[in-house]
Amino acid sequence: MKKILLLLIATSFAAPGISLAQRQNNKARPALRKAAPATASRSSNTRVATLKNQLSDALRMAQSGQYDSAANNLFSLSRRPELANERPQVKYILGTMLIELKLYQTAAFQFVDVIRSNHPKYAKLAIEKLSVVADALGDDTILNYAISRVDLNDFPANLKDMIHYRLGEIKLRNRDFSGAAALFSRVSFGSSTYYQALFNKGLAELEANQTSLAVGTFNKMLDARRRAPVTDTNKVAAQMGLARALYQKQDWEAAIEAYAQVPRDTLMWHDAVFESSWAMLRAARFRSALSNFQTLHSAYYEDFYMPESLLLRSIVYLYICKYDEMEKVLSLFEKTYGPVRRKIGDFLKSTNEAGAYYTEVERAHVLKTTDRNANLRLPYIVVRNILDQGDVKRAMTYIEKLNNEKNRIESNSAFRSSPLGQYAMKIISNRSRNAKFAVGDMAKAHLQNMRVELRDLYEQAGFIRYEMITGRKDSIKKKIAGKDIATEQIDDKIDRQFYIQNGYEYYPFQGEFWLDEVGNYHYLGKQSCE
């Protein structure tokens, strides 16, 4: 930064100032007969010279680290018509000052203005700075604007990894999976985004149904993180990605083993338990799947939106002919998600205003009390699920960064009351309002999807209940015919010490629900099918 500022001071503004004075003198030549225009010309030259001195002073302030004073002076000078030719340079330096002050959103506006000026030197420099600001804010709109104005090969080497990663994210969201994978591959080892790029490359390959490539990518990531702690975020993400790739490849046993390697004390463990239950069902390991449900449906996870898990549990009971347990699970599904479905429908009918949807999301985001439903019109499990969606997460992070920028300005009362401070507050207010409306629209779309999902799941519950009734009828016929199977429990002859030695809690399962425990369970229920 100081090197750039020294160069700017060395080049000075003398040459542009002379040409400007000459142009003004040339315009004044036809009127040399009159004293007034000559006096006006000298007065104009004096003003320009004074402004040039102020500009030099602002640069010296920037060089000495007085960023807020320099930024205020540069902001005032950028609005002077006498410095129109120097405006791109002034705004570029102003933007760099704002970056030093961590006012990224305000800085972005300066760089956009410079880019629009098409200045042969500063437009290109502004594009580079804008890409850095966009990365700091996580704003795809700004990044797209910056990248669309220049060839990727023109970016400096130290920015290329970040540009490739961000562009890959955009292509992945736009479902250009091959393009996304190619861009993620160009992020070099040692970059701060290398592991995220490697993980996203695997996701892109999965989306493109290139499961073998995805397995190789996630194994590469695991190998690179083999010395990291067990709970290392990148290591756990790679393990989860590998398990999902193996599941998509329909290698059920390998997928189950991969899911089992996800550590319990990580955020991904709950998803790993649920997804491994599907793999166990597909592999006909019904007792193992039922063991997972004791954890998934414990009180610890009562705030999680997971209607599908209850139906999956009922299907497992159907396979082993435990119709009484099926009835309990289906009733629990209807009791839990019936009100959820109604409240979602009522909320969608009550308003189309994006602001109302954002307000509901924001309340859940900041809610810290134990009575989580007190201030919400929607069930907490619904809003929590919306907050976990990727697009909403990114937008809420952006809003949080805008709030941080606002707090920095308000913490400096002198800067806050300055023209630049007022200008910055206006920008942040407008961007924050638009971002909140965007989150509201996202929340509405997710609610609509959840309503459709619940409608489909209720139809599935109806089919499952029909199968339950049919199974019960067949079971009664067998009993009447004297063909019912023995009531001996599967594991009656196995000592409880066997389970304790293998890390399990020993709870002989007799059909009751364990809704207050989280851990490893082994299902000890009775087989009810021939």
Strand partners, 505: 521
Cα gap 117→103, rounded to integer Å? 22
Out of 117, 132, 152, pick the residue that ends a domain: 152
Residue tagged 């975020």 (tokens): 233
Residue 495 is which amino acid?
Answer: D
Q: For residues 494 and 456, state if they share a domain.
A: no
Q: For residues 460 and 313, state if they share a domain.
A: yes
Strand partners, 358: none
Contacts of 210 (CB under 8 A, 6+ apart): none
- Does residue 216 fall inside a structural domain? no
Residue tagged 């590998």 (tokens): 242
Please answer whether residues 519 and 284 qualify as being in contact, where contact means their C-beta atoms are separated by less than 8 angstroms.
no
| DSSP letter for each residue of 479-499 | HHTT-PPP---TTTTS-HHHH
Q: For residues 448 and 319, state if they share a domain.
A: yes
pLDDT at 50: 80
- Does residue 244 fall inside a structural domain? no
Q: For residues 34 and 99, state if they share a domain.
A: yes
- Tokens linked to 485: 């199977």
DSSP state of 511: S
Q: For residues 368 and 512, state if they share a domain.
A: no
Sign of CA dihedral 224, 228, 231, 232: negative
For residue 428, the enclosing domain spans 297-484
Out of 97, 119, 152, pick the residue that ends a domain: 152
| Domain count for the chain | 3
pLDDT at 497: 54
Q: For residues 388 and 495, state if they share a domain.
A: no
Q: For residues 323 and 446, state if they share a domain.
A: yes
Please answer whether residues 204 and 184 qualify as being in contact, where contact means their C-beta atoms are separated by less than 8 angstroms.
yes
Contacts of 399 (CB under 8 A, 6+ apart): 432, 435, 436, 439
pLDDT at 2: 47
Residue tagged 């839990």 (tokens): 336
Q: For residues 427 and 326, state if they share a domain.
A: yes
Taking only Cα atoms into account, the Rg of the chain, rounded to an integer number of angstroms, comes to: 32
Q: How many CB atoms lie within 10 A of CB 100?
A: 16
Cα gap 265→466, rounded to integer Å? 39
Cα gap 520→505, rounded to integer Å? 7
- Tokens linked to 71: 């930024």
Q: What is the CATH number of the domain that holds 130?
A: 1.25.40
Q: For residues 476 and 494, state if they share a domain.
A: no
Sign of CA dihedral 137, 141, 146, 150: positive
- Does residue 121 fall inside a structural domain? yes
Nearest to 490 by CA among 257, 327, 286: 286
Nearest to 330 by CA among 465, 452, 459: 465
Cα gap 214→59, rounded to integer Å? 52
Please answer whether residues 126 and 111 qualify as being in contact, where contact means their C-beta atoms are separated by less than 8 angstroms.
yes
Q: For residues 447 and 496, state if they share a domain.
A: no
Sign of CA dihedral 291, 295, 299, 305: negative
Contacts of 412 (CB under 8 A, 6+ apart): 68, 421
- Does residue 119 fall inside a structural domain? yes
Q: For residues 433 and 501, state if they share a domain.
A: no
Out of 97, 130, 152, pick the residue that ends a domain: 152
Strand partners, 521: 505
∠119-125-126 over CA atoms, to 5°? 80
pLDDT at 218: 96
pLDDT at 41: 60
- Does residue 288 fall inside a structural domain? no
Question: Would you call 505 helix, strand, or coil by DSSP?
Answer: strand
Tell the burial category of 192 from Cβ atoms under 10 Å away from its Cβ (0-12, 13-18, 19+). Answer: exposed
pLDDT averaged per 10 residues in sequence order, the chain, 530 residues: 46 38 41 49 70 81 85 90 88 93 94 90 88 87 76 76 88 92 93 93 95 96 93 94 95 95 89 92 87 81 88 90 91 93 95 93 73 74 92 93 95 93 95 95 96 94 91 81 54 50 47 42 52
DSSP state of 513: -
174: phi then psi, degrees, rounded to nearest 5? -85, 5
∠474-477-481 over CA atoms, to 5°? 140
Q: For residues 530 and 432, state if they share a domain.
A: no
- Does residue 253 fall inside a structural domain? no
Cα gap 395→402, rounded to integer Å? 11
- Does residue 421 fall inside a structural domain? yes
- Does residue 163 fall inside a structural domain? no
Helix ranges restricted to H, 411-512: 413-417, 419-480, 496-501
pLDDT at 371: 53
